[in-house]
Structure 1
Amino acid sequence: MGLFAAARLTGLLLMSGWAWHIGRPPRAILGRAWDADWYMLIAEHGYGRVLTWPGAVQSDLAFFPLYPALVRGLSSLVPGGTSGSLGLLVSWSAGLVAAVGIYAVGERLHGRRVATLLVLLWGLMPHSVVLTMAYTEPLLTAFAAWALYALLTRRWLWAGALAVLAGLSRPNGIAVAAAVLCVVAYEIARGGRNRTAPGTGGRNRTSPGTGGRNRTSPGTGGRPVTNPRRDPRLWAAAALAPAGWCGYVLWVGFRTGDPLGGYFAVQRGWTSTFDFGAGSARVVRDIVLRPAVLPLTMALLIVLAAVLLFVLFVLGRPPAALLVYTAVLVLITVGGSGFFESKPRFLLPAFPLLLPLALALTKARPRAAIVVIAGLAGLSFGYGTYLLTLSPFAL
């Protein structure tokens, strides 16, 4: 938590100094810029805002409800607090909770050194400045990290409940529900038979979501659950996991008069669809063939790096819980069309992608590791300042 806070606080101070230098208030940038303003308006007035642009109809129904609900609830406890400041309080608190959850996952899988580096790398990504804004990525990552930890430790009800909250936080929160459903389905399908789980390299006989550390479920007194098909917690987790995401999508559908397609129509109004990467390929072609602005070029480089890290991550044979979660996030990012410059932000919750780099740094010479981390810090602080104070593109 201390390393993550130090990384983000340093970036925040540098950005604030430059913002003051050019005459822009940092708190307004952090608390009301771009999507943050949409969230704050929902917190203040509820849903119902629509903006019409040439070729686009932007409705606030595209934004999931948990974050503005937390801001609104906090406003009743902190009289006089502005929504932007309260939104930052929620985001910063969620970022710290997420950092601890990421550490818990990394420590369970690979030990303390890797876990510490994993948290530090997450705080030093080029787009990590988003983690200090009134955005929802910190909130989703917090729920996702602890849901994955719950799967690794076989706490099924916790995993399902956290998946509900993740699904109410962001559209790509469905990745948490997918991880829970896949792990639970495997547990139920194996029916208590003692098999070697896929993704463990044959080193143990635990389920794919457990990280290879234990064979029992909490609350069983150390006794293995012989028939998961009879464990009501598994079925409850499976029922809970998609409830948050599906519930909001259906609510938007009923509100717009199209129960099954209304939410997706709202997303199309933002030019956001899933087209298996066709739209992204057109943008990549334009970036390669024509002069491109810095945010688009950086977005392309970051997405390519994420795909490479995903390949390395898969080759490391991770637990299925992390594999499914990360794969869904990468698939949504690469296969979706819309605002290409925002794709790196969509990948911020995909912290397992950083595991191969964290493992490599633990094996590198200390001087080399320090050079890599210092380089990432410089890129993160400099590019983050540019994004918030100079870039004309939305994050």
Structure 2
Amino acid sequence: MSTLALPVSRRSAISWVMRSGIRYCLAIWLLQRIGIQLVGLVVVLVAGAPVGAPDGFFGIFYRWDSGYFACIASYGYVGQLCDGGAGSERIAFFPLYPMLSWAVAWVVSLGAVGLDGIVFGMWLVAAIASILATVGVYRIAQHQFDAGTARRAAALFAFSPYAVFLVASYSEALYLAGAVWAWHACLRGRYWIAGALGIVATASRASGMFLVIALLVLYVVGLRRRGERFRIVDLIAVGSSGLGVLAYWVWLYVATGDLLAWFHAQSEGWNRRTRWPWETLFNQGIHVLREPKLDWQIQAVLEAVAAVGIAICVVVLARRKDWGSATLVGTTAASLMTSNSYLSLARNTLTMFPIFVLLADLTRGRRRRWFWVALWIGCALLLFNTVQLALGNWAD
């Protein structure tokens, strides 16, 4: 019996890998990651690394916000000050990414955690999370449509204009690893799994707040489509995805005595304040016309273009009655389009993963050529943003 069980088990495993798209996703993930790392390496070798960036392969995309994550991993949120992480600015960053990075550093350094170990930990966590996110996008598209759409969605995601932040020492990849799989679990009616995976997302980025709302909408809409009856326990299961952000806010209150510590960090540390949308639009226009540096001005233009594209996607998703996706994309965009400017809006298209599934579905059949147009535009902008980030210029 044992001699027969092994081949059957092996064939089943291979069949599952083929059906789930893991081999395809691994291939495009490797292509994307090797390409981005090589471009970054060439840029650093030719132009040199920015001041303050760590040396070595794992520090090629340790830029800007990476210093804050490393500071949190090294010293926590309060007390000790450090370069790139002084003051209340640190509190705006959610804790799971620096915690996991510290854990990796502790393991590889046998308890003697230093900056080099943390830099490696940040790189490794992002690398593992990014492959999970890519497979997750594939599985969502496959569940909703078919394998061909899933392949296009994964490719558009992996080579999207800001996919460099899946490689950089940033929290996007970890957030997405939790968010896309929570979404997939909710689509399949696995609500406790959706809640558990959602906690990973909500403990990683502020975008998780909008994910919780969207998951609840996805649950309610899915009840009718699947012919299920409403159960309060399922609603609680999905809503438990918000425990990540809730736990962080409670901890901040205990540590600082300020119930609104995170919001104060956003406004005082990062000048993030809620504005009327027309005020934000006006401010963005000023950035487009008057930014003092060319790279800043180009990003301001890309953010304005992204705002138009996102608005169109929300309308299309709503017309399709894909209310969960429209909620996630719409609320995420609305929060950034009612701040001081559209800063980071274009970069956050990466976290609005339903957009890639939508584009993949819109480019099926006779419209397949538009998939290649979108892919090549994405690759061109990805190359530009990769060079910008490697140089230490504004790319977010």
Range class of TM-score, shorter chain:
0.7 to 0.9
State how far apart, in whole Å, the 2-side matches of 1:175 and 1:46 are. Answer: 26
Q: Describe the superposition over 1:37-80 as per-residue Cα deviations: whole angstroms up to 9, x where unpaired.
A: 11011112222256899xx9643111111001101111222127
Q: Which residue of 2 aligns with 1:386?
A: 388
* Alignment length (residue pairs): 354
Q: Which residue of 2 aligns with 1:232?
A: 233
Q: Which residue of 2 aligns with 1:266?
A: 265
- Shift of the alpha carbon at 1:178? 1.1
Of the three residues 71, 78, 100, the one matched with 1:70 is 100
Counterpart secondary structure, 2:207 = helix
Range 131-140 or range 300-309, more displaced: 300-309
- Contact 1:114/1:358 (8 A) holds in 2: yes
- AA matched with 2:236: W
Q: Which residue of 2 aligns with 1:302?
A: 306
Cα 1:26/1:114, change in 2 over 3 Å:
farther
Counterpart secondary structure, 1:346 = helix
Q: Which residue of 2 aligns with 1:37?
A: 67
Q: Which residue of 2 aligns with 1:121?
A: 156
- Contact 2:160/2:375 (8 A) holds in 1: no
- Shift of the alpha carbon at 1:295? 1.9
Q: Which residue of 2 aligns with 1:285?
A: 285
- Shift of the alpha carbon at 1:121? 0.8
Q: Which residue of 1 aligns with 2:335?
A: 332
Of the three residues 296, 304, 318, the one matched with 1:314 is 318
- Shift of the alpha carbon at 1:155? 0.6
Q: Describe the superposition over 1:176-195 as per-residue Cα deviations: whole angstroms up to 9, x where unpaired.
A: 211233345x3xxxxxxxxx
Q: Is residue 182 of structure 1 aligned with residue 198 of structure 2? A: no
- Contact 1:50/1:59 (8 A) holds in 2: no
State how far apart, in whole Å, the 2-side matches of 1:44 and 1:163 are. Answer: 26
- AA matched with 1:356: L
State how far apart, in whole Å, the 1-side matches of 2:348 and 2:374 are. Answer: 24
State how far apart, in whole Å, the 1-side matches of 2:387 and 2:37 are. Answer: 8
Q: Describe the superposition over 1:306-338 as per-residue Cα deviations: whole angstroms up to 9, x where unpaired.
A: 2222222222222x3333222221222222336
- Contact 1:157/1:237 (8 A) holds in 2: yes
Q: Which residue of 2 aligns with 1:202?
A: none
- AA matched with 2:70: M
- Contact 1:64/1:171 (8 A) holds in 2: yes
Counterpart secondary structure, 1:3 = helix
Of the three residues 345, 348, 356, the one matched with 1:346 is 348
- Contact 1:104/1:149 (8 A) holds in 2: yes
State how far apart, in whole Å, the 2-side matches of 1:276 and 1:51 are. Answer: 35
Q: Which residue of 2 aligns with 1:21?
A: 46
Match runs of 1:86-125 below 5 Å:
86-125=121-160
Counterpart secondary structure, 2:161 = coil
- Contact 2:62/2:169 (8 A) holds in 1: yes
Cα 1:305/1:236, change in 2 over 3 Å:
closer
Cα 1:111/1:394, change in 2 over 3 Å:
closer
Q: Which residue of 1 aligns with 2:118?
A: 83
- Contact 2:64/2:392 (8 A) holds in 1: no
- AA matched with 1:12: Q
Cα 1:91/1:28, change in 2 over 3 Å:
closer
State how far apart, in whole Å, the 1-side matches of 2:366 and 2:40 are. Answer: 31
Q: Which residue of 1 aligns with 2:360?
A: 358
Cα 1:383/1:65, change in 2 over 3 Å:
closer
State how far apart, in whole Å, the 2-side matches of 1:105 and 1:82 are. Answer: 34
- Alpha-carbon RMSD across the aligned residues, in angstroms, is 2.7
Cα 1:16/1:368, change in 2 over 3 Å:
same
Cα 1:389/1:327, change in 2 over 3 Å:
same
- Contact 1:104/1:115 (8 A) holds in 2: yes
Counterpart secondary structure, 2:372 = helix
Counterpart secondary structure, 1:343 = coil
State how far apart, in whole Å, the 2-side matches of 1:297 and 1:332 are. Answer: 19
- Shift of the alpha carbon at 1:290? 4.0
- AA matched with 1:265: H
Q: Percent identity?
A: 23
Q: Larger % of helix: which?
A: 2
Q: Describe the superposition over 1:338-363 as per-residue Cα deviations: whole angstroms up to 9, x where unpaired.
A: 6x442222231101112332123223
- AA matched with 2:35: T
Q: TM-score, normalised by structure 1?
A: 0.81
State how far apart, in whole Å, the 1-side matches of 2:34 and 2:83 are. Answer: 37
Cα 1:302/1:324, change in 2 over 3 Å:
closer
State how far apart, in whole Å, the 2-side matches of 1:350 and 1:89 are. Answer: 23
Counterpart secondary structure, 2:132 = helix
Q: Describe the superposition over 1:162-210 as per-residue Cα deviations: whole angstroms up to 9, x where unpaired.
A: 22221110111112211233345x3xxxxxxxxxx5xxxxxxxx526xx
Cα 1:283/1:52, change in 2 over 3 Å:
farther
State how far apart, in whole Å, the 1-side matches of 2:204 and 2:135 are. Answer: 19
- Contact 2:101/2:125 (8 A) holds in 1: yes
Range 94-103 or range 32-41, more displaced: 32-41
Cα 1:117/1:361, change in 2 over 3 Å:
same
Cα 1:30/1:301, change in 2 over 3 Å:
farther
- AA matched with 2:125: V
- Shift of the alpha carbon at 1:288? 5.0
- Contact 2:126/2:174 (8 A) holds in 1: yes
Range 129-138 or range 1-10, more displaced: 1-10
